[in-house]
C-alpha cells in the first residue's frame, strides 16, 4: 500500500484534491476507456466510472489487494458495472493493446519500482490520439504526502515521460499540493 494514502480518508482528501475537477480537466467524457494505474481504493476510478457512463470502461490496477477489494465494494454500492479492477504490479500491467483514451496515474508515479517500464506499458495501452495523465505531489515541503526525496519534481516527471516516447502537452498546478502532466 502506498504509505501516504493510509493517512487520509476520502472526505479529508477531498479538502485538498477534487477528483471530478481533475478528471474534467483531462477531457474525460462518456463512452471513453480510462485506465487507472495505482488506483488505490478508487479515489479517481469511481468518479471516472461515473463520468464515462455505461458506454465507457474503467480498468484499475493496484498492488494492494485490500484497496482493490475496497474499490470493488464501492463500485457495487453505487451500482457501477463499468469498472474492472485487479491487483498486481504496474510494471506487469497491460490491460489491452491500444484500447485506452486515457491512462492515468493519480499521485503514484513516484511509487513504482520501475516508472520507465510503467510508462512504456501506458504507451502500449493508449489508442492513437489517447493521452497520458500524471498527477503527482509537488516537490515542496508540506505537512502531507511522501518524503520529499521520494517525490518527482516536474522536470523529472517530464524527463521520464518524454523518454518513454510521449510528447508533453501541458504541465500545470492542480490545487496547492499537486501538478498535472498531460502527454500524447
Whether 3 is in a domain gets the answer no
Model confidence pLDDT, tens digit, residues 123-170: 999 999 999 999 999 999 998 889 999 999 999 999 999 999 999 999
Whether 134 is in a domain gets the answer yes
Whether 175 is in a domain gets the answer yes
Strand boundaries in the chain, DSSP class E: 33-37, 57-62, 83-87, 100-106, 126-137, 168-174, 178-183
Whether 4 is in a domain gets the answer no
pLDDT by residue for the chain (184 residues), tens only, comes to: 343 444 457 788 888 889 999 999 999 999 999 999 999 999 999 999 999 999 999 999 999 999 999 999 999 999 999 999 999 999 998 999 999 999 999 999 999 999 999 999 999 999 999 999 999 999 999 988 899 999 999 999 999 999 999 999 999 999 899 999 999 9
Cβ–Cβ < 8 Å for 41, 70: yes
pLDDT in the model for residue 107: 93
Grid cell of 132 as nine digits? 497520458
Whether 137 is in a domain gets the answer yes
Report the number of distinct structural domains present in the chain: 1
Whether 133 is in a domain gets the answer yes
Give the sign of the dihedral formed by CA 36, CA 107, CA 40, CA 63. positive
Whether 26 is in a domain gets the answer yes
Whether 2 is in a domain gets the answer no
pLDDT in the model for residue 4: 41
Domain, as residue range, for 120: 10-183
pLDDT in the model for residue 39: 96
CATH code for position 47: 3.40.50.150
Amino acid at each position: 500500500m502506498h504509505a501516504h494514502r493510509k493517512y487520509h480518508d476520502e472526505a479529508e482528501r477531498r479538502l485538498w484534491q477534487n477528483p471530478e475537477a481533475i478528471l474534467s480537466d483531462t477531457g474525460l467524457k462518456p463512452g471513453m476507456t480510462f485506465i487507472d494505474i495505482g488506483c488505490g481504493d478508487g479515489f479517481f476510478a469511481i468518479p471516472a466510472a461515473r463520468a464515462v457512463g455505461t458506454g465507457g470502461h474503467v480498468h484499475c490496477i493496484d498492488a494492494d489487494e485490500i484497496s482493490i477489494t475496497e474499490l470493488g465494494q464501492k463500485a457495487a454500492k453505487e451500482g457501477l458495472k463499468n469498472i474492472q479492477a485487479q491487483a498486481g504490479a504496474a510494471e506487469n500491467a497491460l490491460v489491452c493493446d491500444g484500447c485506452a483514451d486515457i491512462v492515468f496515474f493519480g499521485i503514484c508515479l513516484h511509487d513504482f519500482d520501475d516508472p520507465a517500464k510503467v510508462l512504456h506499458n501506458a504507451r502500449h495501452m493508449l489508442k492513437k490520439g489517447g493521452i497520458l495523465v500524471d498527477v503527482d505531489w509537488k516537490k515542496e515541503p508540506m505537512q502531507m504526502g511522501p518524503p520529499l526525496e521520494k517525490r518527482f519534481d516536474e522536470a523529472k516527471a517530464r524527463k521520464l515521460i518524454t523518454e518513454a516516447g510521449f510528447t508533453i502537452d501541458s504541465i500545470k498546478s492542480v490545487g496547492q499540493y499537486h501538478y498535472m502532466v498531460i502527454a500524447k
